[in-house]
């Protein structure tokens, strides 16, 4: 097998059309998304979009453990350490690597969200952080019995980025805020419930599905192929007799919605952390969610809430532009590097957050995450949504 971190090949279909297959190929790192992987995926997706013989794209991963466990934090950590020790430590634009990484990652995520042709994402195993960024925008998203999804950035001093402000805000009730604050894992059925996935299939049925996709006579029209893929997937699910039972997030929906509907963040956090023992006892999922919130970065909790509040009525392109500024502020600040150190580098699991509590967070501390770093026409992601804006003006 090639050493390339992403493998690409095509499969022939029945009528001379092709299926493009992209495979994340960094099994040892649970397919953590590196800058090289982002660049390779972006270029190949563009090439397949321009190739009329390619009807659709399959996005999958090597190994049985993970589709993608998140972004490549090692190189980001090294860049932050270097930036913090430099004479540009107070400059949000002083970390060129972080700017380049986040810009390219968000650009790829947006490319997937707005891709003309169908993208089938096979989200088997662990799908976290940057992995959800890849999966969330795919037109057809499959989870399996082994899928576990999460946005656990509160544990490393970041926030649910990669468009998290967009898709978390569009979940039922206040579930998106709860997931952002707790980093809770969800299973396949809950992933479908909160609209991070479209349907659940047994992982063992993947080979059969690919064979059916190859046997299909695809169209030159992308919209027709979207419908054909949807039909095949739903038929596959019916044939597999998939039994879907409610996951913990759905079972606790009413309670979570009530807890997270308070007017201010401090009350919301207090509500979650002081859940009645009769609810929490013998519920390992809730216990773990509460513990993650209690151990997580107060700044991350504040920022996740602030982004969702500000992003309620923004377009997807505007969300990515807002998140890029917030990500650079995290990279320039203390908690992101400290969270990676405690979790991945030293592995002592004892991050020292600054500030150490939500009440100690000063208003001026929060302003940094929404700073105006560029004029609108100079923003690195200024072109996102340009075609949408043109269409709106034409209408």
Confidence of residue 389 (pLDDT cuts 50, 70, 90): very low
State the pLDDT at residue 395. Answer: 28
State the pLDDT at residue 288. Answer: 95
User: Hey, is 125 helix, strand or coil?
Assistant: coil
State the pLDDT at residue 279. Answer: 76
The tokens of 84 are what? 């913090």
- Contact at 8 Å (CB) between 310 and 69? no
Confidence of residue 384 (pLDDT cuts 50, 70, 90): very high
**Residue among 72, 105, 161, 323 flagged as catalytic:** 161
pLDDT single digits (tens) 16-46? 999 999 999 999 999 999 999 999 999 999 9
pLDDT single digits (tens) 151-160? 999 999 999 9
User: Hey, is 85 helix, strand or coil?
Assistant: coil
In the annotation, is 153 catalytic?
A: yes
**Residue among 20, 70, 71, 339 flagged as catalytic:** 71
User: Going by CATH, does the domain composed of 6-394 fall within 3.90.226.10?
Assistant: yes
| Average pLDDT over all residues of the chain | 95
| Paired sense of beta strands 18-24 and 6-12, if any | antiparallel
State the pLDDT at residue 393. Answer: 28
**Of the ranges 31-45, 62-76, 131-145, 378-392, which one carries the lowest mean pLDDT score?**
378-392
**Of the ranges 1-10, 285-294, 323-332, which one carries the lowest mean pLDDT score?**
1-10
- Contact at 8 Å (CB) between 209 and 232? yes
Is residue 1's pLDDT more than 60? Answer: no
State the pLDDT at residue 387. Answer: 59
Residue bearing the bigger pLDDT, 157 or 389:
157
State the Cα–Cα distance between residues 188 and 54, nearest whole angstrom: 29
pLDDT single digits (tens) 346-383? 999 999 999 999 999 987 889 999 999 999 999 999 99
Q: Give the helix, strand, coil percentages of the chain, each rounded to 5.
A: 55, 10, 35
- Contact at 8 Å (CB) between 155 and 350? no
pLDDT single digits (tens) 234-257? 999 999 888 888 999 999 999 999
In the annotation, is 71 catalytic?
A: yes
User: Hey, is 129 helix, strand or coil?
Assistant: coil
In the annotation, is 123 catalytic?
A: no
What is the average pLDDT across 308-336?
Answer: 97
Nearest to 122 by CA among 64, 172, 179: 64
**Residue among 123, 125, 130, 133 flagged as catalytic:** 130
State the pLDDT at residue 388. Answer: 53
State the pLDDT at residue 95. Answer: 98
**Residue among 153, 198, 323, 335 flagged as catalytic:** 153
In the annotation, is 109 catalytic?
A: no
Strands laid side by side in the 140-143 sheet: 6-12, 18-24, 54-61, 119-123, 140-143, 199-200
Domain boundaries, the chain: 6-394
User: Hey, is 142 helix, strand or coil?
Assistant: strand
């Amino acid at each position: 097998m090639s050493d390339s971190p992403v493998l690409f090949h095509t499969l022939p279909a029945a009528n001379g059309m092709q299926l493009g297959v992209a495979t994340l190929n960094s099994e040892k790192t649970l397919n953590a998304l590196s800058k090289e992987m982002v660049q390779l995926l972006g270029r190949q997706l563009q090439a397949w979009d321009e190739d009329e013989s390619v009807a659709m794209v399959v996005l999958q991963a090597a190994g049985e453990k993970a589709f993608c466990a998140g972004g490549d934090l090692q190189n980001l950590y090294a860049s932050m350490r270097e930036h913090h020790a430099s004479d540009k430590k107070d400059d949000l634009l002083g970390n060129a690597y972080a700017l380049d990484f986040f810009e390219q990652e968000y650009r790829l995520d947006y490319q997937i969200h707005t891709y003309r042709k169908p993208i089938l994402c096979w989200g088997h195993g662990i799908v976290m952080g940057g992995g959800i960024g890849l999966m969330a925008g795919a037109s057809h998203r499959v989870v399996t019995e082994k899928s576990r999804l999460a946005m656990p950035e509160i544990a490393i001093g970041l926030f649910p980025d990669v468009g998290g402000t967009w898709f978390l805000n569009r979940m039922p009730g206040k579930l998106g805020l709860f997931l952002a604050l707790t980093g809770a894992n969800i299973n396949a059925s809950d992933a479908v419930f909160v609209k991070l996935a479209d349907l659940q299939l047994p992982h063992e049925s993947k080979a059969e599905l690919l064979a059916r996709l190859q046997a299909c006579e695809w169209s030159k029209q992308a919209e027709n192929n979207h419908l054909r893929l949807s039909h095949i997937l739903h038929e596959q699910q019916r044939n597999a007799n998939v039994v879907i039972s409610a996951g913990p997030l759905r079972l606790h929906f009413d309670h979570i919605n009530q807890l997270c509907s308070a007017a201010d963040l401090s009350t919301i956090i207090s509500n979650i952390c002081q859940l009645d023992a009769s609810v929490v006892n013998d519920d390992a999922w809730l216990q773990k969610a509460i513990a993650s919130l209690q151990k997580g970065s107060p700044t991350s909790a504040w920022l996740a809430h602030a982004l969702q509040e500000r992003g309620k009525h923004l377009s997807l392109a505007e969300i990515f532009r807002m998140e890029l500024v917030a990500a650079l502020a995290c990279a320039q600040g203390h908690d992101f590097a400290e969270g990676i150190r405690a979790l991945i580098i030293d592995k002592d699991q004892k991050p020292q957050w600054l500030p150490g509590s939500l009440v100690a967070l000063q208003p001026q501390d929060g302003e940094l995450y929404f700073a105006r770093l560029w004029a609108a026409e100079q923003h690195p992601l200024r072109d996102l949504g340009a075609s949408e804006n043109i269409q709106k003006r034409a209408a």
